[in-house]
Amino acid sequence: MSGTGTGTGTDTGTDSGTGTGTDRYTVISADCHAGADLLDYRPYLEKAYHDDFDAWAADYVNPYEDLLADTADRNWNSERRLAEMEADGIVAEVVFPNTIPPFFPSASLMAPAPTREEFEQRWAGLRAHNRWLADFCAAAPGRRAGVAQILLNDVDEAVREVRWAKENGLTGGILLPGAPPGSGVPELYSQAYDPLWAVCAELGVPVNHHGGSASPPLGEEPAARAVFMVETTWFSHRALWHLVFGGAFRRHPELTLVLTEQGSGWIPGVLEMLDYYHGRLVAAATKAATAEAKFGAGLAEAMGKGPSEVWRENCYVGASFMRPHEVPLRHRIGLDKIMWGSDYPHDEGTQPYSREGLRIAYAGLPREEVAVMVGGNAARVYGFDTALLDPVAARVGPTVEEIAEPLTAVPEDASSPAFAPGGKVRVW
């Protein structure tokens, strides 16, 4: 069964070691993606937007090849999705968005900030996605935790959407948009967002910040994609130090932040850096004669606890397909903080080789440690009922013996970075 983590960074969070009562792991992917086919969003839009949607959809050209391929229906075909994930050993998933919501030029994670006139339509589009997602999750009871989308331009509207999501069974929490330079909304450290943090803390709604969601527009120059790859994870990490230094966790101690698909190996070093600046600035604030004193003025009172303590008590990482070089850092990150994900149905995901992805990362580890990283922590954070999932895992989950066997050969057609050079077989 799934246990509860203590926030110490050493608790395994499980009693049985597998979660199934058998020799199979209950695997929950904390990073999957889904969305409706474009025209299928129409019934979920308020009728007042139907004519506008028809006009917009008639001229819209989807920019994403994977959403035009014959495999695109993995985003919305519930039966196909369940079958492919079970074949991959996965029994449940946290569902982030993937397809294009109404009135957006591109996926909402990547869409540039709109004009004020476009906000109303885009809010309608995101509400349509969230309502579709509620039905999609209901089609597989207890096996999907849907992540609702919001915008930050209207905090009151965001609060209303959080309450709607909670009342309508979207247990994955909310997707926190980025606020990159030039976005036109307050930085994430701003207390303008306190009503949003307050309702999420009140209702136990996780705040998810996904990789790729916070980078500023970079234009169309040839170097833009390379620069995006270099910078995107840094911009994604910004949410952590903004909320920490902004005092969101002091004012709302029940708030939960999950950082997904942005790696995990960076966390110990960044926490050390944040602790350093926290200590340095707080100390400087007591010495009014120094030039640095002004940078730490009021920081201790605003933040409360230091960054590492906030991490231990409030934060988690959706580590996706954890790489072998990250695994030795698991105790410094916190065993009760790490949630594995397959990134289904993306090309860079581990499907159909998730078992191999688990082996290349976790072979040789104690089964209790593997159990919490591949499912126990996600069950606790997102409220999955392991009593419902364990019987499914007893049928389709990877065996403890299988995952314990080191991977000696990477599948030739594996496309996930989990199998990239430098992340191959590790001797424990």
> In angstroms, rounded to a whole number, what is the distance separating the alpha carbons of residues 344 and 34?
9
* CATH number for the domain that contains residue 228: 3.20.20.140
Residue listed under structure tokens 């982030």: 96
Residue 14 lies in a domain: no
pLDDT digits (tens, 9 = 90+) for 2-43: 333 333 344 444 444 576 667 999 999 999 999 999 999 999
Range of the domain at 210: 28-419
Handedness of CA 29, 383, 199, 5 (dihedral sign): negative
Average pLDDT of the segment spanning 166-180: 96
Residue 5 lies in a domain: no
Residue 10 lies in a domain: no
Residue 286 lies in a domain: yes
pLDDT the model gives residue 423:
44
Q: Is the pLDDT of residue 275 over 90?
A: yes
- Position 422 confidence tier, pLDDT thresholds 50, 70, 90: low
> In angstroms, rounded to a whole number, what is the distance separating the alpha carbons of residues 419 and 425?
9
- Position 428 confidence tier, pLDDT thresholds 50, 70, 90: very low
Domain count, the chain: 1
> In angstroms, rounded to a whole number, what is the distance separating the alpha carbons of residues 388 and 385?
5
Residue 13 lies in a domain: no
Contact 187, 211 (CB under 8 A): no
Q: What end-to-end distance do the CA atoms of the chain give, in Å?
A: 27
Residue 2 lies in a domain: no
pLDDT the model gives residue 128:
98
- Position 199 confidence tier, pLDDT thresholds 50, 70, 90: very high
Residue 171 lies in a domain: yes
pLDDT digits (tens, 9 = 90+) for 372-412: 999 999 999 999 999 999 999 999 999 999 999 999 999 99
Q: Is the pLDDT of residue 426 over 90?
A: no
Residue 58 lies in a domain: yes
pLDDT the model gives residue 216:
85
- Position 1 confidence tier, pLDDT thresholds 50, 70, 90: very low
Parallel, antiparallel or unpaired: strands 338-340 and 144-146: unpaired
